[in-house]
Amino acid sequence: MTGILNRRAVFAFGNQLAALRSDDRPALSILMIDVEHLKEINDVNGHQSGDQVLTEVSELLTSAVRSGDVVGRYGGDEFLAILIGGEPSDTDAICERILSGMRDARFSSSRGEIAVSVSIGISELSPSENDLCEVLGRADHALYESKRHGRATFTRA
C-alpha cells in the first residue's frame, strides 16, 4: 500500500548492518515515527483517508531522508527509518525536515483537508551492540517521551 519496505524487510536490512563488526559498520540511527491520531482520522474520515495519509506520509519520509537511508513501515501508524552514517546533528536535521514537511502538508479526505503530525523517537546503535531489538526498544521509549512532551517533536534516547 505505501510502496516502502514492510516490517520484515526493514528488520532484515537493519539486522544485516547491525551484525557487521563494529569497526566495519557505519554509525546507525533508528527513527521510530508515529502518525498522530490515525485512529481518529480513520473513524472520522474513513479508512480510505487513513490509507491515503499513510501513503503520503511514507512519501514524505522517503523524501526527507538521505540517499542510502531506509524507510519502512513498522505497523499500524508507525514507521521506521534507518539512517546510515552521519553525526547526531545530521539525524536532528532529518527529523526537523520530517516535522517541517508534516506541518506544511495538508492531506485530502472526503471531509476536506486535514492536518497530520508525527512524533519521533531516536536511538543509535552503539559499537558494542549487534541486536536491533534493543535499539528499537530505546527508540520506542524516546517516541513515548516525544508524545508525553506535546507531540510533533523528536526525542533522543
| Domain contains 35 | yes
Give the CATH number for residue 106: 3.30.70.270
Cα 61–chain centre separation: 7
| Domain contains 2 | no
| Domain contains 127 | yes
pLDDT tens-digit series, residues 55-71: 999 999 999 999 999 99
Quote the cell numbers at residue 18. Answer: 547491525
| Domain contains 33 | yes
| Domain contains 132 | yes
Residue 24: domain span: 7-156
Query: What's the pLDDT band for 19 if we cut at 50, 70, 90?
Result: confident
pLDDT tens-digit series, residues 83-131: 998 889 999 999 999 999 999 988 877 788 888 999 999 999 887 788 8
Domain count, the chain: 1
Nearest to 45 by CA among 91, 105, 103, 107: 107
Report the catalytic residues: 77
pLDDT at site 41: 85
Is the pLDDT confidence value at 1 over 60? Answer: no
| Domain contains 1 | no
